[in-house]
Amino acid sequence: MGFHMAGHLSAKGYEVYVYNRTKAKSIKWLKTFKGRALDSLNELDVNFDGVFLCLKNDSAIQEVLFKSNLIDCLKINSFIVDHSTTSLALVNEVISHKKLVSKSISFFDAPVSGGESGAINGKLSIMMGGGKKNKIRVRRLVSSYAISVVHIGANGHGQIAKMINQICITGIIQSLAEALSFGRAKQVDMSRVMEAISNGAAQSWQMDNRSISMVKGSFDFGFALDLMIKDLNIVIDEASKERINLEVTDLIKKKYQTLSKLGYGNDDTSALIRLFD
């Protein structure tokens, strides 16, 4: 997703430097967009106005931010926007880091929703946590690839919003998988069924974008179910701290774990319907 998000920034005329731990991806980006690829985050000759992150998990962010010289190359009063889905512990670790504090660097936890198609088309939804400083500046930049940018509240609130988003998504996918499997067993034309009900109360993004591909058994999309397992582990951990029982969410997480063990970890989350086959 970061590939396309950086591309939108470049297309808007911003001076963009890209870095990926897999160098081939940076090279591929340069063949499509205008900018500069960084070979390393340790030997930098640039002072950055801001940094955008879009990484797999907490440890990847710790590696990029704290085990390199990247922060040293950020200007005083600059910003960091993290589009990854992370734990609240990671957010607290970042905002309390002595280098960020000493340089008055603003941090925004700003996870996204909308999948790879949303990134490609510049129609992501962003839920943002952070302070007021640099907020307008950051909102203008992320609007290059987002159709919705909502500042939820203080740092951490963006990640909490993403947790809520994932709870909602998993329930919808489970219900959609059950409904499609029922319709398939009854041998009705599911494309016509979806046409009939998608403009009613049952409508959802998942129904519009994944129902037909689920029936066809096509799961080659952007958000892998292994990543959903990671996200749901974060959600359930936070819920346990509040003594909230997320019964359905926990059940669906275990279903995803079953699929992952069967070798489907890179499938889109809609692959939940495989368990009905």
Query: What is the percentage of the chain residues whose pLDDT exceeds 70?
Result: 100
**pLDDT score for 235:** 97
- Strand 112-113 versus strand 124-129 pairing type: antiparallel
Contacts by 201-207, CB closer than 8 A, 24 or more apart: 204/172, 204/176, 206/169, 206/172, 206/173, 206/176, 206/270, 207/172, 207/176
Average pLDDT, the chain: 95
Q: Is the predicted pLDDT of residue 222 greater than 80, yes or no?
A: no
**Please, are residues 65 and 94 in contact by the beta-carbon 8 Å criterion?**
yes
> How far is 128 from 109, CA to CA, in rounded Å?
6
| Best CA proximity match to 114, nearest among 157, 54, 31, 62 | 54
**pLDDT score for 221:** 84
Which architecture characterizes domain 160-276 according to CATH? Orthogonal Bundle (1.10)
**pLDDT score for 223:** 87
Q: Is the predicted pLDDT of residue 107 greater than 80, yes or no?
A: yes
Q: If one looks up domain 2-154 in CATH, what number appears?
A: 3.40.50.720
Q: Where in the chain is the domain with CATH 1.10.1040.10?
A: 160-276
Q: Where in the chain is the domain with CATH 3.40.50.720?
A: 2-154
State the average pLDDT over residues 208-219.
93
**pLDDT tens, residue by residue, 125-141:** 999 999 999 999 999 99
Does 162 qualify as catalytic in the annotation? yes
Catalytic residue among 75, 162, 186, 230: 162
Q: Rounded to the nearest 5°, which phi and psi values hold at 210?
A: -130, -15
pTM confidence score: 0.93
**pLDDT tens, residue by residue, 137-185:** 999 999 999 999 999 999 999 999 999 999 999 999 999 999 999 999 9
Reported confidence tier of residue 47, pLDDT bands at 50, 70, 90: very high
**pLDDT score for 43:** 83
Q: Is the predicted pLDDT of residue 196 greater than 90, yes or no?
A: yes
